[in-house]
Chains A and B, each alone.
Chain A
Amino acid sequence: MDLKEIKADQVLDTRGLTCPMPMLKTKKTLKGLSAGQILEVIGDDPGSKNDIPDFAKKNNNEFLGFYDDDGGMTHYFIKKG
């Protein structure tokens, strides 16, 4: 699946935020989604590259992957379980 073609149901912008804010916001936003919906998280904290995938695999959620864009931002895709 090409990540860039995913239409996310909600986009969470964490640009400039560092640990732990991206994680906290991801957790909170995921809570508000219903099963099957897709969350896209945008951020540039290097720590998130491990944290978000690890976290997204918990609680039946599915981690769809991430890609780096040309502006130095990383886009993560999580499907709520």
Chain B
Amino acid sequence: MASDSFWSSAREETLKSYHALFDSEWPPWLAGILIAIIALMIFLWQSPWGIAAGYVNWGDWVYHFFGASKGHPPLFPWLHPISLSNVGIIMGAFASALMARQFKIRRAPRLEYGKGIVGGILMGTGAAMAKGCNVGGFYTAVAMFSGGGFAMMFGLAAGAWVGLKYLLWEMEHLPSKPVAAKPKKARKEGEGVDWEKVQPRIGLAVAAAVIIIFYLYGIVDKTQLGGWLFFGFLIGLIMHRSRFCFVRAFRCPFMTGEADMVKAVSLSLMIYIAGSAVIKWGYLQEPTMGIYHSFFLGSLIGGFIFGIGMLLSGGCASSTLWRVGEGQTKLMFTLVSFAMADATAGRIFRATGISKWLGKDIFLPDVFSWPLTMPLITVFFLMWVLAAVWNEKTEKFVVF
């Protein structure tokens, strides 16, 4: 019989919630709502959320380290807001994987590493062209009412289609040998560490460490920066718990017809857009904040290249981060090649003046006015969902 004291009841409830939160997976729509709310908090906290700029910061450091950059060194990664939120995402996914007892260094067949690297190079190049990845160039860009966000969306969809075609070709023509499983050593009672039991404790320690670091940033008067790490941590946790994946929203309608992620991303965007309208229309932040993309050529072509890359690597800018946190070695290669390609391509585009040809961003309310922009965008995303649902039933766009 359960004891009736407050503590045993609290303990029971905590354990029950723990299982509900960390053992079972969260539905994508719930994650979509939560991510939109956190993205809005980030917008109010300082500036719009992105990811690729953090990758560029890391790539810039490699250039600086080898003496290939002129002038001032780039911001230290721990003083760069987007870099910090990226670290937060990795830590959030790491903590979440540990709490679910899922963390493991995951190896992949050799061909997969090659695809991971090439995918990262394509995504880095595409992100440099579009001036943003699937988050800064699409998700946040759309919510900021940037024309570039919509151009990139079409590019991503076309790129995903081409990338999927390649994967189908590869399946027919390039055999890949599965990674042999290492037999688990049977652990004798009372000997060594019970990894299953230790994992959740390390996970909790990681979460505690992030909160402590946030406070430490506060102590040295950098609360705003510390917040980026903390928000990133929450996003990483949510994304890993739900396996939230922008790639799926673009790929699955062509692959299995499944529309769940299209619904989740659309729902998330509608909340993000509504909140952003309140913030921008109400002048809580500068209305044209986050309007810097390459409309429309850069965003469209960049999105296309990015789309092919994300199919090859199996992760976009955000899901690369949370998959690294889960221990997938393939995506660690993607992370490095993404960062280097983004920093390199950005340098080339600026030095050659190609940037000018890629286009200048437009702020949709400047073109359509606020009262018209809102219903237009709402109808646009409703149409995306309805088309995806129709495709789920009829498989009109499914390529094989």
Contacts and interface: CB of A to CB of B under 8 A. Distances in A.
Q: Main SS of chain A's interface residues?
A: loop
A23 B398 CA distance: 14
A19 interface: yes
Contact of A28 (B171, B245, B247): B171
Contacts, number: 72
Interface stretch (B39-47, B101-109, B213-221, B335-343): B101-109
B167 A19 contact: no
A25 interface: yes
B361 interface: no
Given A27-B256, A46-B102, A58-B256, A20 B167 contact: yes
Contacts of A27: 255-256, 400
A47 B179 CA distance: 17
B184 interface: yes
B178 A16 contact: yes
B167 A16 contact: no
Contact of B109 (A16, A25, A49): A16
Interface residues of B, number: 34
Contact of A16 (B25, B179, B184, B251): B179
B182 interface: yes
Given A23-B256, A55-B256, A13 B314 contact: no
A10 to B, nearest CB: 15
Contacts of B255: 20, 23-24, 27
Interface in A2-25: 13-21, 23-25
Given A46-B326, A58-B256, A71 B181 contact: yes
A15 B109 CA distance: 9
B243 interface: yes
Given A16-B107, A18-B330, A25-B171, A50 B184 contact: no
Contacts of A54: 258
B258 A16 contact: no
Contacts of B107: 16
B329 to A, nearest CB: 10
Contacts of A19: 245, 248, 314
Given A14-B178, A27-B400, A71-B181, 13 more contacts: A15-B179, A17-B108, A18-B314, A18-B323, A20-B247, A21-B112, A23-B255, A24-B171, A25-B171, A47-B243, A55-B258, A58-B256, A70-B184
> What 8 A-B pairs have minimum CB-CB distances, sorted nearest first?
A16-B179, A15-B178, A13-B178, A71-B181, A16-B108, A15-B179, A47-B243, A16-B109
13 contacts: A15-B179, A16-B107, A18-B314, A20-B311, A21-B167, A27-B400, A46-B102, A46-B243, A55-B258, A70-B184, A71-B182, A71-B183, A72-B181
